[in-house]
């Protein structure tokens, strides 16, 4: 049976709620499902009054899950072990895997509380820089220890500020935004950290610290609301701003099998199904800016087609320029590299539109630090940059952070750490417009390690096998 382009099979693939499918077989048929989807649960900002009921249900769910026996797959610790044992990081499985993880976790919360309309709230760290008050307080099920952040600690502009996030949302290539192609979620070939993962995602994990700085981070209830914000950012980029996901069949057809449903039964879900979830199973009340969200319609055939098909926009390297080899970076020990970029490459990198290129710094064969309680800032043509240099300096290009765990990260199993990429196009264009860079001039980059602050820092130097500049064609928005 078809409903404005959606069949019952589509709804199952897309993760539409079991409640809606039950209605299908009961009273209203197609119209009942249509109404159920239009009234799908709303994920709200955890700090708002409108989210109070969901916050209360979330507390009840956490309490109930912690009380489940160890043999129950829905047990709080067992849910965290799914992340420890299976979570992909630094590759293009990162976003769909965590979307499915949240989806099934939300179903478990509904089952153990009996609240069928529960929607997981999210922590909008762009708007509220401190860990929200909802996660603090003795006797509060949403409070967790240890955390390195205090109730007064503030996330920095360079990680989650408006301009930082706009620069990320302005990216039109899926891999640059969402992390790079890999042959497998764990231990595969390829991979690399995209801007959303390397900057706000990794930095928030390190900023909160404690358990949140490990792969058992789901033990801290703030984890789920942090990743819900990451999912909100994907919706903003993909649906509200009409940027295409990759259409590679190896990505779309990949199926995850490690999740469990609300009743504890094992589940299988493909990435192709996850891309439809915001249309069928839930919606966000506001955008990452805190503004009223664009509410997508379940029967928008063009949007559904856009999400299902994606775009043929793989990340490709057009040119490569070697900057340095065997680089080490530590606190008080910045590293630099320079290269004379060709006139042609510089011209393309400083031209806007489809005829231009983007200029990226690529860090490959990285040996991460033993402790990830610091992050890295990148400056262009600023040889004296230090940890005290402001991100308002015109030479500042961006930042990235580490997120690994001795028990779960690829490096612990002898696998290669994914590459890090930092897009320096905007900074290079501004410096050229200001007359500081001309065609054929050298471009210098400087990497500066910066401690998170308000804690004892144990960060040790990390090494980079190769530091290069690469150019990539501009992806056509919405293609």
pLDDT in tens, 249-269: 999 999 999 999 999 999 999
- pLDDT, one tens digit per residue, over 329-371 is 988 877 776 666 666 666 666 666 556 789 999 999 999 988 8
Structure tokens at 128: 């509220």
The pLDDT assigned to 295 comes to 56
Q: What is the location of CATH 2.60.120 in the chain?
A: 319-473
Q: Lowest-confidence range among 19-28, 125-134, 224-233?
A: 19-28
- pLDDT, one tens digit per residue, over 464-477 is 999 999 989 887 66
Q: From 104, 112, 110, 109, select the one nearest 269 (Cα to Cα).
A: 104
Q: Where does the pLDDT of residue 373 fall: very low under 50, low under 70, confident under 90, or very high at 90 and above?
A: confident
The pLDDT assigned to 463 comes to 92
Q: From 190, 187, 163, select the one nearest 175 (Cα to Cα).
A: 190
The pLDDT assigned to 321 comes to 86
Q: How many whole angstroms separate alpha carbon 376 and alpha carbon 378? A: 7
How would you write 30-82 as a 3-class SS string? HHHHHHHHHCCCEECECCCHHHHHHHHHHHHHHHHHHHCCCCCCCCHHHHHHH
Q: Lowest-confidence range among 16-20, 28-32, 359-363?
A: 16-20
The pLDDT assigned to 294 comes to 63
Give domain 319-473's CATH architecture. Sandwich (2.60)
Q: Lowest-confidence range among 31-40, 310-319, 464-473?
A: 31-40
pLDDT value at 434 more than 90: yes
Q: How many whole angstroms separate alpha carbon 436 and alpha carbon 433? A: 8
Task: Give the E-state strand segments of 187-232 in sequence order.
Answer: 192-193
Q: From 57, 73, 74, 56, select the one nearest 65 (Cα to Cα).
A: 74
Q: How many whole angstroms separate alpha carbon 358 and alpha carbon 346? A: 10
The pLDDT assigned to 324 comes to 85
Q: How many whole angstroms separate alpha carbon 36 and alpha carbon 363? A: 47
pLDDT value at 206 more than 70: yes
Q: From 302, 316, 241, select the one nearest 475 (Cα to Cα).
A: 316
Q: From 311, 350, 315, 334, select the one nearest 443 (Cα to Cα).
A: 350
pLDDT value at 273 more than 90: yes
Q: Where does the pLDDT of residue 16 fall: very low under 50, low under 70, confident under 90, or very high at 90 and above?
A: very low
pLDDT value at 25 more than 60: no
pLDDT value at 20 more than 70: no
- The angle at the Cα of 187, spanning 182 to 191, to the nearest 5 degrees, equals 30
pLDDT value at 412 more than 60: no
Q: Lowest-confidence range among 292-306, 308-322, 449-463?
A: 292-306
Q: Which ranges in 145-221 belong to alpha helices (H)?
A: 157-160, 162-169, 174-178, 195-196, 202-208
Q: Supply the DSSP symbol for 7.
A: E
The pLDDT assigned to 249 comes to 94
Strand 269-270 to 42-43 pairing: unpaired
- pLDDT, one tens digit per residue, over 81-98 is 999 999 999 999 999 999
In the chain, % helix, strand, coil (3-state, to 5) comes to 35, 20, 45
Q: From 317, 315, 169, 172, select the one nearest 248 (Cα to Cα).
A: 315
Fold that domain 42-309 belongs to in CATH: di-copper center containing domain from catechol oxidase (1.10.1280)
pLDDT value at 36 more than 80: no
pLDDT value at 409 more than 90: no
pLDDT value at 378 more than 90: yes
- The angle at the Cα of 158, spanning 155 to 161, to the nearest 5 degrees, equals 70
Strand 357-367 to 374-380 pairing: unpaired
Q: What is the mean pLDDT of residues 405-431?
A: 75
The pLDDT assigned to 408 comes to 45
Q: What is the mean pLDDT of residues 222-236?
A: 98
Q: What is the location of CATH 1.10.1280.10 in the chain?
A: 42-309
The overall average pLDDT reported for the chain is 87
């Amino acid at each position: 049976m078809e409903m404005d382009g959606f069949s019952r099979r589509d709804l199952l693939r897309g993760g539409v709620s079991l409640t809606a499918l039950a209605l299908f077989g009961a009273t209203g048929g197609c119209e009942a499902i249509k109404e159920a989807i239009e009234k799908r649960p709303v994920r709200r900002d955890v700090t708002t009054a409108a989210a109070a009921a969901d916050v209360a249900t979330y507390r009840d769910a956490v309490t109930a899950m912690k009380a489940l026996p160890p043999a129950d797959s829905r047990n709080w610790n067992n849910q965290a072990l799914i992340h420890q044992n299976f979570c992909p990081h630094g590759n293009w499985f990162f976003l769909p895997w965590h979307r499915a993880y949240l989806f099934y976790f939300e179903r478990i919360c509904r089952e153990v509380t009996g609240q069928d309309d529960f929607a997981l709230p999210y922590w909008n760290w762009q708007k509220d820089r401190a860990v929200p008050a909802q996660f603090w307080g003795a006797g509060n099920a949403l409070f967790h220890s240890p955390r390195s952040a205090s109730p007064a600690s503030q996330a920095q502009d360079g990680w989650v500020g408006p301009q930082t996030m706009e620069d990320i949302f302005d990216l039109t290539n899926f891999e640059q935004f969402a992390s790079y192609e890999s042959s497998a979620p764990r231990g595969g070939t390829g991979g690399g950290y995209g801007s959303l993962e390397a900057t706000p995602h990794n930095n928030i994990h390190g900023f909160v610290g404690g358990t949140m700085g490990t792969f058992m981070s789901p033990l801290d209830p703030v984890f789920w609301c942090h990743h819900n914000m990451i999912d909100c950012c994907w919706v903003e980029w993909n649906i509200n701003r009409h940027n295409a996901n990759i259409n590679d069949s190896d990505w779309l057809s990949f199926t995850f099998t490690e999740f469990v449903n609300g009743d504890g039964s094992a589940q299988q879900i493909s990435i192709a199904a996850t891309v439809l979830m915001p249309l069928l199973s839930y919606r966000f009340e506001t955008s990452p800016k805190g503004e009223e969200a664009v509410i997508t319609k379940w029967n928008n055939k063009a949007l559904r087609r856009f999400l299902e098909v994606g775009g043929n926009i793989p990340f490709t390297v057009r040119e490569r320029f070697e900057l340095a080899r065997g680089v080490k970076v530590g606190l008080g020990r910045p590293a630099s590299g320079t290269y004379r970029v060709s006139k042609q490459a510089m011209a393309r990198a400083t031209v806007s539109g489809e005829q231009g290129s983007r200029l990226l710094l690529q860090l490959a064969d990285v040996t991460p630090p033993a402790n990830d309680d610091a992050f890295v800032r990148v400056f262009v043509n600023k040889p004296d940059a230090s940890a005290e240099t402001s991100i308002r300096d015109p030479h500042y290009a961006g930042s990235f952070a580490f997120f690994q765990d001795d028990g779960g990260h690829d490096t612990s199993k002898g696998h290669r750490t994914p590459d890090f990429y930092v897009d320096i196009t905007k900074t290079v264009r501004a410096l050229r417009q200001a007359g500081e860079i001309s065609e054929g001039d050298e471009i210098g980059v400087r990497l500066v390690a910066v401690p998170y602050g308000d804690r004892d820092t144990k960060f040790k130097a990390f090494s980079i096998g190769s530091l290069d500049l690469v150019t990539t064609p501009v992806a056509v928005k919405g293609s």
